[in-house]
Amino acid sequence: MTVEIGVEEIEDIALGATVLGTGGGGDPHVGKLVAKQAIEEFGPVELLPPDELDADDFVIPTAQMGAPTVSVEKLPGGQEAVASMERIERELGKTADATMPIECGGINSTFPFAVAARRGLPVVDADGMGRAFPELQHETFNIYGVSGTPAAVSDERGNSCLIETDDNDQLEWLARGVTVRMGGVAYVSDYPMTGAQVKETAIPGTMSLARDLGRALRLAEDDAMSAIREVTRESIYGEARSLFEGKIVDVQRRTERGFVFGHVDIDGLDSDEGSTMRIEFQNENLGATVDGSYVATVPDLITVLDRETGGPIPTESLRYGARVRVLGIRTPEIMRTPAALDVWGPASFGLDATYEPLADHP
Amino acid sequence: MTDYRIGIDVGGTNTDAVVMDGDDNLLAKTKTPTTEDITSGILSALDVVLDDSGVSEDELDYVMLGTTHATNAITERRGLNEVGVIRIGAPATQSIRPLLEWPDDLAAAIGNNVAILDGGHEFDGRLLNDLDEEQVRAQIREFADVDAFAVTSVFSPVRDDHETRVAELIREEVGDDVPISVSNEIGSVGLLERENATALNAALTSVASEAANAFVEAMDERGIDANLYFGQNDGTLMSVDYAIRYPIFTVASGPSNSVRGAAYLSAVENGIIVDVGGTTTDVGAVTEGFPRESSVAVEIGEVKTNFRMPDIIAIGIGGGSIVSTDDGVTVGPQSVGYKLTEEAKCFGGETLTATDLEVAAGTIDIGSETPDVDAEIVEAAREYVRERVEREVDRMKTSAEPVPVVIVGGGSILVPDDIAGASEVHKPDHYEVANAVGVAIAQVSGEVDRIYSLDEMDREEAIQHAKDEATDNALAAGADADSVDIVDVEEVPLSYLPGNAVRIKVKAAGALDH
């Protein structure tokens, strides 16, 4: 059965992506509106399960990259990511059969649907981060041996830049530089791959998971936690568990190298009374301690919800006095292998912790 | 010079008025019901305080008014202009058209005339695309029938050249009578939110000018030859001309007036203000005597905007809140509202309200009878109110330090004097008309919120530039040149952008021009 993504599903994916974004991934608002307008204009988009791809199908992921302040002001023209995709098609002499998100949190969870609507292509129900991470090498595609290049970066004026590199860290470095020259935000197509490579390296089902989480949150009367638990129970992720409940008593932030670093301290309420949780973040939430001992770390998901409304709170909106519930979700096996932990385990973000997979909801 | 002034604040339930003299002594005050045609309620409040104070019409120098005309026009989609919404930013920005996320009926009410034309700048002031003047002129002619224009250019908070030029072209094409709103004068970075606020502003200019004319005429009829000012949502005043150009700034001026008034009456310059009305309680913060601004996008009529708005949390508890004993004792959010004097038990009605509990407990004496309420219910309801208020007070704080709390508004009696997290709790004299006091004592201000590239000028130069512009804006709004001071400078480095970009916000305020 073909699953179609229309305007309502885009709303749900954007909301669900704020849970999977673990506090970061950028404001999904712009990505959502871009996708909505494209779907209104060109029609709904097919969501394609990765196991329905043929081994030699050709998939080109698409994304926006750059500074949040610019992305809310210089909105996309709409053709940029399509141009990046076409530049890779010209380079490789093949036409894309589908596009795919590189992450399932924040703005880039919905953005590829706009590209797909314009090109009349399906979106593969998968991504390369299984959450949000800050950089282009933070991809299962990279971890499991897919080359990020040839990659193309384009702006709204029709300028394009083709990037060829030996390794994917260099791709991130060069693409970031081009993005600055393009005015602080640009549109990238990278990790072009075959259907067989998608099946081997992508995290499957994350777009439909975001949609289901969003729909459950939208319909949940007042019990967001149960809604999220029910959806995650049926997924390749662990069942969401409540890690802590309390009141935010301190938030510290500093901006370095283009990232927002910091931590938030939460004093326990009810059954957590007397304890303090600290969550450290770099754009996204990285690790959570209770009274000094780690209870969850990357790559597992740590998401802060408003205790009353159940709405996910991004790191930039954390503030003193908010009553919150912190939930943890174990990421799928493919994100927890030794090779994966080398790229996004606690040590790679400077945390003094050993990764312990979160248990399911007790 | 006597400097007698009248402050009037129009709320959803009551219209409050005060008369103050030149030394800010309060001479008379009143609370009268808000009328459907707002002007007649204002006039009856005016008559009461003039009568009580013994000040005659010709002794009045200033009349200051906080109104809800603009807010009501948006909520009710009434009297809105047809607007030509012009965005300058192509080839960028075309993937999200103007008004895309507006409610259909509101977009229809302003005519759904939108265009995205060539032009705009980058974050560092470089050109994004040339303005195509022939394309702009053709579009203006196509919008020949609109009542007003709203112009928004990409990164206009950094460089406003294209917006300014488009406004000139509109003048050349359609003359001087059509109002033009340009986005750099209204909001900050965040194209959609700034464009939304600018389009709403353009939609409101006719409503604002009708309201202003109605007041001026009413004053003339009463023989009052005073300067008329409007309250704006940063807790300061603007002249009538300014209010007609920037009506969006009157939205949410009521809670801002309360914050200013409460700060003045209690002499608390920094703290939390709790304003208990008939239906809701507004919790806000005062910083150096002015309302703290919200740092997140605020919705007006279901439209996201990013212009300065007071940081206010409203909770559904007030004097008219209905008390329920179905599932424990709860107060609100349902309310009898302005029908308190018909439906509340103490006025012989059938509904148990928060006010009835205090009448039963003997803390206030209003109405025609004393309801018989179990003391345990009174106690439980008071605890309910205390908990809710304490929680919101805590949310408005920026750290765990105890801070002063000031309680004002007609329903102040509902809130206890000992609030957790408060270093001290004030219930100042004239608490029930703090909003009208707030607008009567208000100053005139001007603001600037811009991004500067420190590659082009040094930091001192940039701050001085912002200060000069804020001062000019205050003068344009009607401030006295000798009294204008810079009251706030905020500097936010945008370190994830190259070119040393910094966002500078400056506010200048001064006394009324004589």
Asked if A46 contacts B92 with a C-beta cutoff of 8 angstroms, the reply is no
Q: What is the pLDDT of residue A301?
A: 96
The band of A258, judged by pLDDT with boundaries at 50, 70 and 90, is: low
In this complex, do A33 and B101 lie within 8 Å of one another by their Cβ atoms? yes
Which residue shows structure tokens 């090498």?
A137
Task: State yes or no: pLDDT of A309 exceeds 90.
Answer: no
- Express each pLDDT in A236-246 by its tens digit: 999 999 999 99
- How does DSSP assign A96-163, residue by residue? -SBB--S-SSGGGGTHHHHHHHHHT--EESEESSSS--SSTT-SHHHHTT----SEEEE-TTS-EEEE
Q: Give Cβ neighbours of residue B326 (< 8 Å, ≥ 6 apart).
A: none
Distances (CA, A) of B21 to A214, B4, B26, B438: 58, 4, 7, 14
In this complex, do A37 and B400 lie within 8 Å of one another by their Cβ atoms? no
Task: State yes or no: pLDDT of B298 exceeds 60.
Answer: yes
Of B180, B186, B187, B183, the C-alpha closest to B88 is B183
A319 against B105, higher pLDDT: B105
Reading the block at residue B259, the tokens are: 């914050």
The band of B494, judged by pLDDT with boundaries at 50, 70 and 90, is: low
Of A148, A198, A203, the C-alpha closest to A176 is A148
Pairwise CA distance, residues B351 & B342, whole Å: 9
Asked if B258 contacts B267 with a C-beta cutoff of 8 angstroms, the reply is no
Q: How far is A292 from chain B (nearest CA, A)?
A: 21
Determine the average pLDDT of the residues in A162-183.
Answer: 93
Q: Does the global pTM surpass 0.80?
A: yes
Q: Locate the chain B residue with the closest alpha carbon to A27.
A: B190
The band of A136, judged by pLDDT with boundaries at 50, 70 and 90, is: confident
Q: Within A244-346, where are the H helices? A: 338-344
Determine the average pLDDT of the residues in B209-226.
Answer: 86
- Express each pLDDT in B280-293 by its tens digit: 899 999 988 889 88
Q: SS3 for A185?
A: strand
Q: Between A36, A156, A249, which is nearest B92 by CB?
A: A156
Q: Give Cβ neighbours of residue A136 (< 8 Å, ≥ 6 apart).
A: A65, A102, A142, A148, A168, A171, A172, A175, A188, A190
Query: Which residues face B115 on adjacent strands?
Result: B86
Q: How far is A266 from chain B (nearest CA, A)?
A: 12
ipTM over the 0.95 cut-off:
no
Distance of CA A90 to the CA centre of its chain: 28
In this complex, do B497 and A69 lie within 8 Å of one another by their Cβ atoms? yes
Of B151, B161, B158, B87, the C-alpha closest to B123 is B158
Weakest mean pLDDT among A153-162, A312-321, B175-184:
A312-321
Q: What percent of chain A has pLDDT over 90?
A: 80
Asked if B453 contacts B271 with a C-beta cutoff of 8 angstroms, the reply is no
Task: State yes or no: pLDDT of B26 exceeds 70.
Answer: yes
* Range A14-31 burial, b when 16+ CB lie within 10 A, else e: bbbbbbbbbbbbbbbbbb
Q: What is the pLDDT of residue B1?
A: 47
Task: State yes or no: pLDDT of B490 exceeds 90.
Answer: no
Q: Within chain A, where are the H helices? A: 7-20, 28-42, 68-71, 80-92, 111-119, 140-143, 168-181, 195-201, 206-219, 224-233, 338-344
Q: What is the pLDDT of residue B498?
A: 58
- The letter for the amino acid at B360 is A
Distance of CA A346 to the CA centre of its chain: 18
- Express each pLDDT in A46-64 by its tens digit: 999 999 999 999 999 999 9
Residues of A in contact with B316 (CB under 8 A): none
Weakest mean pLDDT among A178-192, A221-235, B233-247, B448-462:
B448-462
Q: Which of A11, A73, A320 to mutate to test the interface with B (most CBs of B within 10 A)?
A: A73
Query: Which residues face A256 on adjacent strands?
Result: A259
Determine the average pLDDT of the residues in B158-165.
Answer: 93
The DSSP bridge pattern shows strands A293-297 and B444-453 to be unpaired
Q: What is the pLDDT of residue B183?
A: 96
Determine the average pLDDT of the residues in A40-45.
Answer: 97
Reading the block at residue B193, the tokens are: 């939110």
If residue B504 lies in a helix (H) or strand (E), which one and from where to where? strand B501-510
In this complex, do B190 and A158 lie within 8 Å of one another by their Cβ atoms? no
Phi, psi of B293 (to 5 degrees): -85, 150
Weakest mean pLDDT among A123-127, B21-25, B86-90, B487-491:
B487-491
B306 against B140, higher pLDDT: B140
Pairwise CA distance, residues B301 & B110, whole Å: 13
Q: SS3 for A253?
A: strand
Q: Locate the chain A residue with the closest alpha carbon to B189.
A: A73
Determine the average pLDDT of the residues in A154-162.
Answer: 96
B300 against B1, higher pLDDT: B300
Average pLDDT of chain A, as a whole number: 93
Task: State yes or no: pLDDT of B166 exceeds 80.
Answer: yes
Task: State yes or no: pLDDT of A8 exceeds 90.
Answer: yes
Q: Within B150-239, where are the H helices? A: 161-174, 191-221
Q: Locate the chain A residue with the closest alpha carbon to B125.
A: A183
- Express each pLDDT in B349-393 by its tens digit: 999 999 999 999 988 888 888 998 999 999 999 999 999 999 999
Weakest mean pLDDT among A7-16, B262-271, B505-514:
B505-514
The band of A138, judged by pLDDT with boundaries at 50, 70 and 90, is: very high
The band of B514, judged by pLDDT with boundaries at 50, 70 and 90, is: low
Q: Between B95, B396, B497, which is nearest A76 by CB?
A: B95
Asked if B155 contacts B123 with a C-beta cutoff of 8 angstroms, the reply is yes
Pairwise CA distance, residues A222 & A251, whole Å: 27
Which residue shows structure tokens 């662990």?
A238
Which residues of A lie inside 8 Å of B (Cβ-Cβ)?
A: 30, 33-34, 36-38, 67-70, 72-79, 114, 156-158, 180, 183-184, 247, 249-250, 255-256, 258-259, 317, 319-323
Of B37, B46, B58, the C-alpha closest to B9 is B46
Reading the block at residue B39, the tokens are: 């002007």
Q: Between B90, B155, B496, which is nearest A73 by CB?
A: B155
Q: What is the pLDDT of residue B132?
A: 98
Pairwise CA distance, residues B194 & B160, whole Å: 13
Weakest mean pLDDT among A77-81, A226-230, A277-281, B508-512:
B508-512
Distance of CA A162 to the CA centre of its chain: 24
Query: What are the counts of helices (DSSP H) followed by strands (DSSP E) for chain B?
Result: 13, 23
Distance of CA A119 to the CA centre of its chain: 23
Q: Between A156, A259, A322, which is nearest B91 by CB?
A: A156
Q: What is the pLDDT of residue B137?
A: 98
Average pLDDT of chain B, as a whole number: 90
